[in-house]
């Protein structure tokens, strides 16, 4: 079984990235051949500074390795180190119905959030489909909000297969509890572009400040509070053991504890949870050649697979 996932180098990684993509990806290393890429091509839809893009790409690789990705069991590489993916994206675009892309909810959501409309943003699902199909991927772990991208990928694969013969296998989404939407400090999905993130490897003062700024309602200290609607409780449930989660739930329902105290408790648990990863990150940084060597080895493996698939595609459509 071949597993594929990617993450954009749009900035420092936050806990939404970790629980939404990275932790499930690390767990999947044991289930099959895992390929994980730093999606620098995708980042071009919003990131215009070349130095920032380069720095962010390296930082994503560093943070992914610090969070448990094992290069002996998984392949980590940069998107742009496999340029064949852009060729496949063009080929897919020649068969992609406009209506399919116009129905993509991610495009509408990004426009609603103030991002500038551009062709890259609109055709983003085609590049994502190429990412998946070029590696003969079997499984793609995603959150519920990204399931539509896999559906679009499957639609495009079916259209290619119907037109040119059996070229692509149909990938399956893997939606796990870990990939549920992680709320940001404003209660909406955590995202760097929304400015509601809590970074994994931010310094202690900054993480504390972000946690203490979580938006809450005006329920008085003495009154019972609803844990199900609380961002504090949802985030705490990601990092605390079951008995401590149950204890916090009881205190919410009982009343007598203010949101400020719950936020302090959440910060302490978050800081403790990511401590081993901060240590591993420092160890990786001490070896200056390690990240480059991992990415080079990953690019070699990714290109081997992509080359085989593209030869098959080119022959089927008449380019060979």
- Which positions ≥6 away from 102 have C-beta within 8 Å? none
**Tokens (6 digits) for 54:** 């380069």
Q: Which residue is associated with the tokens 């408790």? A: 265
Q: How many Cβ atoms from other residues are within 10 Å of residue 31's Cβ?
A: 11
Indicate if 169 belongs to the active site: no
Q: Enumerate long-range contacts of 155-164, CB under 8 Å, 24 or more apart.
A: 155/100, 156/92, 156/95, 156/96, 156/100, 156/126, 156/129, 157/129, 157/133, 159/95, 159/96, 160/91, 160/92, 160/95, 163/95, 164/316, 164/317
Is the separation of the CB atoms in 232 and 216 below 8 Å? yes
Q: How far is residue 257's CA from residue 260's CA, in Å, rounded to a whole number? A: 8
Closest by CA position to 257, among listed 236, 227, 280, 228: 227
Indicate if 147 belongs to the active site: no
Is the separation of the CB atoms in 154 and 171 below 8 Å? yes
**DSSP letter assigned to residue 5:** E
Q: Which of 147, 159, 189, 234 is catalytic?
A: 189
Give the chain's length: 320
Q: CA angle, 282 as apex, 191 and 269 as ends, to 5°?
A: 55
Indicate if 263 belongs to the active site: no
Q: Which of 110, 225, 263, 269 is catalytic?
A: 110
Q: Which residue is associated with the tokens 């007598």? A: 256
Q: Which of 192, 225, 263, 269 is catalytic?
A: 192
Q: How many Cβ atoms from other residues are within 10 Å of residue 163's Cβ?
A: 12
Tell me the catalytic residues.
110, 189, 192
């Amino acid at each position: 079984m071949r597993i594929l996932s990617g993450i954009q180098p749009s900035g420092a990684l936050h806990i939404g990235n970790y629980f939404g993509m990275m932790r499930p990806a690390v767990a999947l290393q044991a289930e099959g051949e895992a390929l994980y890429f730093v999606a620098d091509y995708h980042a071009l839809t919003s990131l215009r500074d070349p130095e920032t893009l380069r720095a962010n790409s390296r930082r994503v690789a560093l943070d992914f390795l610090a969070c448990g990705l094992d290069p002996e069991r998984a392949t980590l590489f940069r998107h742009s180190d496999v340029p064949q993916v852009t060729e496949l994206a063009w080929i897919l675009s020649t068969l992609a119905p406009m209506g399919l892309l116009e129905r993509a909810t991610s495009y509408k959501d990004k426009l609603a959030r103030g991002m500038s409309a551009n062709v890259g943003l609109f055709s983003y699902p085609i590049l994502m489909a190429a990412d998946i199909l070029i590696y003969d991927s079997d499984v793609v772990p995603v959150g519920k909000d990204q399931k539509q991208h896999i559906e679009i990928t499957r639609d495009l694969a079916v259209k290619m297969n119907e037109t040119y013969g059996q070229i692509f296998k149909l990938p399956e989404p893997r939606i796990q509890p870990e990939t549920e939407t992680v709320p940001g400090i404003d209660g909406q999905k955590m995202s760097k572009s929304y400015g509601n993130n809590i970074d994994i490897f931010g310094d202690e003062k900054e993480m504390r400040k972000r946690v203490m700024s979580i938006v809450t309602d005006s329920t008085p200290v003495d009154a019972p509070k609803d844990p199900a609607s609380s961002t504090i409780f949802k985030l705490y449930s990601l990092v605390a053991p079951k008995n401590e989660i149950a204890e916090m739930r009881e205190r919410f329902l009982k009343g007598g504890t203010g949101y400020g105290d719950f936020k302090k408790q959440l910060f302490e648990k978050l800081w403790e949870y990511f401590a081993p990863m901060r240590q591993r990150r420092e160890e990786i940084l001490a070896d200056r050649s390690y990240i480059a060597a991992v990415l080079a080895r990953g690019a070699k493996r990714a290109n081997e697979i992509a080359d085989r698939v593209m030869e098959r595609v080119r022959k089927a459509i008449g380019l060979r």
